[in-house]
Amino acid sequence: MAEQNGTIGYSENGELAVPDRPTIPFIEGDGIGPDIWKAAKMVLEAAVKTAYGDSRTLQWKEVLAGEKAFNKAGSWLPEEALEAIRTYRVAIKGPLTTPVGKGFRSVNVRLRQALDLYACVRPVTYIHGVPSPMSRPDEVDMVVFRENTEDVYMGLEWEAGSPMAGKLIDLVRQEEGTRIRSDSGIGLKPISKTGTRRLVRKAIQYALDHGRKGVTIVHKGNIMKYTEGAFRKWGYELAQEEFSDRIITEDELFKKHDGRLPEDRLLLKDRIADAMFQQILLRPADYEVLAMPNLNGDYMSDALAAMVGGLGMAPGANIGDSVAVFEATHGTAPKYAGLDKVNPGSLILSGAMMLDYLGWSEAAEALRSSIVRTIGEKTVTYDLARQMEGATEVKCSEFAEAMIRLM
Ligand code: NAP
């Protein structure tokens, strides 16, 4: 149950129980993080006030991670940060630097793995007026569910010439008779049945809950049969076992239903990743929810974001079974740090996803309709202004203020 102190809990039937004044841990982020966080916080608070007056509010709790944590506490991802997010269950974050250097693994990847945030959810929807390279960007309305904990992102790789790379090269030669060049770096790509099933389950459940008509499993199984190919196979198996009365496969659609989707069914299909990159450009309207392994999902999410106006506007969430972290999908853009210049849209829209997740859909709607209106009036930050005719270029904070005025 939700506790008096603002901690989000779960009801007996497993649903999120959100108090009227939930405590939400936030990580401000590095580089442009403080700029976009300040703007997003203002807009989120205004959206909640617009929707509920004073009867609901968000109580923020700062959690240190990234450069700020390193400078204060000597750790890029202190255990207290993870503990606070585990306790309060829903958090929001700005981008974090990954220092380039030997052996340093991304703070973001470590955060996702430590909290087992296995689904990276990236909705990609076009906002009218945003400059786009597509001729019909309004046809793009997809949600990517990218597996977030496995695949090459597990960081299991060894430098060329290292003892471990040498051992693996020898093992493959002895057991498989395959020669790998001795000066090769070696990486492992684990994809499990467990990891695949829970990701595909989340994607299908999302599609059913949101009235979407199709889920596509995207994979490179023609080449990597026991990892990407298995992702496809396990995805279909899970769908048959748990959703057989709600889904229909593409095969069945044409064999039994003459290509027409029955009202009460969801179409489950699969596409090979390279073909899918063509499909999102040529036939975006045919795709709604995509379930993908980690690396291909990473590429696809950014390609889709570019189609609707770039990373400055793309929201995202990392969701597990009991914890969710909402985040800007772009990086720290260090050259713009502290200039109050960049587009806060990605973090603001991630905040709207967070409000939806809390069940505060009226506030999410207030926020989304105001961003549509603000961009409709051509009041935009530099990134959009440089591509828009007749735009008024505003600062990061001024964009947030304009949004609040139009709420
Ligand atoms: P980046 O920070 O995303 O910036 C690349 C470019 O994207 C910027 O120079 C800018 O383009 C544009 N951009 C990014 N955010 C924007 C915004 N809010 N508004 C407008 N334009 C925006 O990518 P990066 O330079 O490759 O990465 C920098 C650092 O961020 C690295 O340490 C990386 O590891 C980290 N990173 C963190 C996350 C995360 O925390 N989730 C994700 C990705 C990268 P213009 O120069 O054209 O204006």
Give the DSSP letter string of 109-125: HHHHHHTT--EEEEEEE
Which token pair is 407? Answer: 């709420």
Q: Give the tens place of pLDDT for each residue, 347-397.
A: 999 999 999 999 999 999 999 999 999 999 999 999 999 988 999 999 999
Is the C-beta atom of 311 inside 6 A of ligand 1? yes
Active site residue 245: no
Interatomic CA distance for residues 172 and 169, integer angstroms = 5
Distance 7 CA to ligand 1 centre (A): 32
Is the distance from the beta carbon of residue 333 to the nearest atom of ligand 1 less than 6 Å?
yes
Give the pLDDT confidence score for residue 356 in this predicted structure. 96
Average pLDDT estimate for 79-93: 96
Q: Kindly give the distance from the C-alpha atom of residue 312 to the centroid of ligand 1, in angstroms, as a whole number.
A: 9
pLDDT averaged over every residue in the chain: 94
What pLDDT shows up at residue 318?
97
For the cut 90, the answer to whether the pLDDT of residue 177 exceeds it is: yes
pLDDT greater than 70 at residue 193: yes
Instruction: Determine the 3-state secondary structure of 276 from DSSP.
Output: helix
Q: Please, what is the end-to-end C-alpha distance for the chain in angstroms?
A: 32
The CA 27 to ligand 1 mean position distance, Å, reads 17
Nearest of 399, 23, 297, 259 to residue 391 by alpha carbon: 399
* 138 belongs to the catalytic site: no
- The phi, psi pair for 326, rounded to 5°, reads -95, 140
- Cβ of residue 301 lying under 6 Å from some atom of ligand 1: no
Of the candidates 30, 35, 151, 298, the residue annotated as catalytic is 298
**How is residue 195 written in tokens?**
């990891």
Report which of 66, 65, 68, 74 is spatially closest to residue 98, judged by C-alpha positions. 66
pLDDT exceeds cutoff 60 at 40: yes
Say which amino acid occupies 71. N
Q: Is 258 a catalytic residue?
A: no
Position 3 pLDDT exceeds 60: no
Complete DSSP assignment for 237-260: HHHHHHHTTTEEEHHHHHHHHTTP
Q: Which two tokens stand for residue 379?
A: 């009041």
User: What pLDDT, on the 0 to 100 scale, is given for residue 370?
Assistant: 97
* 98 ligand 1 Cβ < 6 A: yes
Q: Is 298 in the pocket of ligand 1 (CB under 6 A)?
A: no
Tokens of 128: 């009218």
Q: How far is the CA of 331 from the centre of ligand 1 (A)?
A: 3
Q: Whose structure tokens read 């210049």?
A: 341
Contact (Cβ atoms closer than 8 angstroms) between residue 239 and residue 222? no
214's enclosing H/E stretch is strand 214-219
Centre of ligand 1 from the C-alpha of residue 49, in Å? 31
| Cα–Cα distance measured from residue 73 to residue 55, given in angstroms and rounded to the nearest whole number | 37
Helix, strand, or coil here: 3?
coil
Tokens of 1: 């149950």
The runs of H, that is alpha helices, within 177-227 are 193-209
Residue 72: Cβ within 10 Å count: 10
Encode pLDDT of 261-296 as tens digits: 999 999 999 999 999 999 999 999 999 999 999 999
pLDDT in tens, 307-336: 998 777 889 999 999 999 999 989 999 999
User: Is the minimum distance from the CB of 312 to ligand 1 under 6 angstroms?
Assistant: yes
Predicted confidence at residue 105, as pLDDT, reads 74
Residue range 93-151, pLDDT digits in tens: 999 998 776 566 788 888 998 999 999 999 999 998 888 999 899 999 999 999 999 99
Query: Are residues 299 and 89 in contact, defined by beta-carbon separation less than 8 angstroms?
Result: no
> Reduced to 3 states, what is the DSSP secondary structure of residue 375?
helix
113-145 burial code (b ≥16 CB/10 A, e <16): bebebbbbbbbbbbbebbbbebeebeebbbbbb
Set 220, 341, 356, 382: catalytic member? 220
What mean pLDDT is predicted for residues 236-265? 94
Pocket test for ligand 1, best of 330, 371, 399 (most atoms within 8 A of CB): 330
Ligand 1: residue of 332, 339, 341 to mutate (most ligand atoms within 8 A of CB) is 332
